[in-house]
């Protein structure tokens, strides 16, 4: 019986030793896994190829869209939206119905600017005179693309009529609009070049102001807002959407000297006096106002630049 018990004890000790060795190996394996970083899973080759193809297709589509847009813009863009100008020959002084003042300079304005907005507004600028009007686009089998414009200064047409038009050129060589008046067969074709030609109106060198005239004044008869600023400018906003910018200076003898630009630079002098809330320029009576009424959208009256 003693031998059997000894054998059982030996087996128990062996089992314990095996269990300890197994536990030691498990701990060693766990520590090894903690120390060694796990490798990132490698994507299968098919998934890599699919992803690269998708990226390539996206790049090709984007490039095709850009190429189409550029090609259309360069070769097929016939829209008239934006700014254009009409060059004026040096010997052409009757481009618009411009009043003659006391003095004029010999330097003529080189261009008339036109702007066509996407909401149907047409803005014509001749020198420092800006006039707002409208336009419509259409077409006919006989005349192709049509442009109907209605821009007036008072009762004087600035840009009015129905024209057949054709947009030619490209951004590299320059775009232009060729206009033919469909109802005035004697009128020469007009060519508008893309872009705006700025006209600079500088203040008088010896500019002086009178604080009593600064601000906004209203001519209730002709529906004109006058605004005198302290940096030497006077802006008239006329009924119907016309704006004229002047440079001005106060003279010591109760006169204003003013200049503005239309087909040429125009210079004039006017007497002025302030009586309370009224400003008299020659025989025109103006009322001082805190906030000028919006006369740009009112029905046009029979007004002119002067």
CB 298 within 8 A of CB 240: yes
Residue given tokens 């006369």 in the structure block: 295
pLDDT more than 70, % of the chain: 66
pLDDT at 27: 61
Measured between alpha carbons, how far is 210 from 230 in angstroms, rounded to an integer?
9
Measured between alpha carbons, how far is 146 from 165 in angstroms, rounded to an integer?
6
Tokens (6 digits) for 126: 């001749």
Phi and psi at 21, nearest 5°, equal: -65, -40
Q: Tell me 232's DSSP state.
A: S
Indicate the domain borders of the chain.
47-74, 82-194, 211-289
What's the rounded mean pLDDT across residues 268-286?
Answer: 96
State pLDDT tens for residues 228-245: 999 999 999 998 789 999
pLDDT for 121 beyond 80: yes
Residues with Cβ < 8 Å from 266, sequence gap 6 or more?
98, 99, 100, 101, 103, 104, 259, 260
Determine which of 110-119, 239-248, 284-293 has the lowest per-residue pLDDT on average. Answer: 284-293
Whole-number mean pLDDT of the chain?
A: 80
Q: Which fold has domain 211-289?
A: Lipocalin (2.40.128)
CB 137 within 8 A of CB 107: no
Residue given tokens 């001082």 in the structure block: 288
Classify the C-alpha dihedral 132-138-143-145 as positive or negative: positive
Determine which of 93-97, 112-116, 228-232, 297-301 has the lowest per-residue pLDDT on average. Answer: 93-97
Band of pLDDT at residue 178, cut at 50, 70 and 90: very high
pLDDT for 102 beyond 50: no
Band of pLDDT at residue 98, cut at 50, 70 and 90: very low
pLDDT at 75: 52
What's the rounded mean pLDDT across residues 4-16?
Answer: 57
Please state which of the four CATH numbers 2.60.40, 1.10.10, 2.40.128, 3.30.470 is assigned to the domain occupying 82-194.
2.40.128
What's the rounded mean pLDDT across residues 107-127?
Answer: 92
CB 217 within 8 A of CB 279: yes
């Amino acid at each position: 019986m003693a031998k059997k018990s000894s054998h059982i004890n030996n087996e128990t000790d062996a089992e314990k030793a095996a269990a300890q060795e197994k536990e030691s190996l498990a701990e060693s394996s766990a520590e090894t896994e903690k120390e060694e970083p796990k490798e990132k899973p490698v994507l299968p080759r098919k998934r890599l190829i699919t992803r690269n193809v998708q990226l390539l297709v996206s790049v090709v589509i984007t490039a095709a869209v850009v190429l189409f847009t550029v090609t259309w813009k360069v070769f097929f863009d016939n829209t008239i939206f934006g700014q254009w100008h009409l060059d004026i020959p040096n010997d052409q002084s009757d481009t618009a119905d411009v009043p003659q003042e006391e003095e004029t300079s010999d330097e003529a304005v080189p261009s008339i600017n036109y702007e066509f907005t996407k909401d149907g507004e047409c803005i014509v600028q001749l020198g420092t005179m800006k006039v707002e009007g409208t336009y419509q686009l259409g077409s006919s089998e006989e005349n192709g693309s049509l442009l109907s414009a209605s821009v007036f200064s008072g009762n004087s047409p600035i840009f009015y009529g129905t024209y057949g038009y054709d947009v030619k050129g490209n951004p590299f060589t320059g775009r232009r609009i060729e206009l033919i008046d469909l109802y005035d067969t004697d009128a020469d074709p007009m060519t508008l070049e893309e872009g705006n030609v700025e006209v600079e109106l500088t203040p008088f060198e010896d500019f002086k102001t009178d604080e009593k005239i600064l601000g906004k004044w209203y001519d209730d008869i002709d529906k004109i807002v006058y605004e005198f600023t302290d940096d030497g400018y006077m802006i008239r906003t006329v009924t119907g959407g016309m704006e004229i910018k002047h440079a001005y200076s106060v003279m010591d003898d109760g006169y204003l000297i003013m200049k503005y630009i239309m087909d040429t630079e125009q210079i004039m002098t006017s007497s002025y006096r302030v009586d309370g809330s009224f400003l008299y320029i020659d025989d025109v009576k103006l009322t001082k106002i805190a906030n000028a009424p919006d006369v740009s959208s009112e029905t046009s009256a029979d007004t002119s630049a002067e």
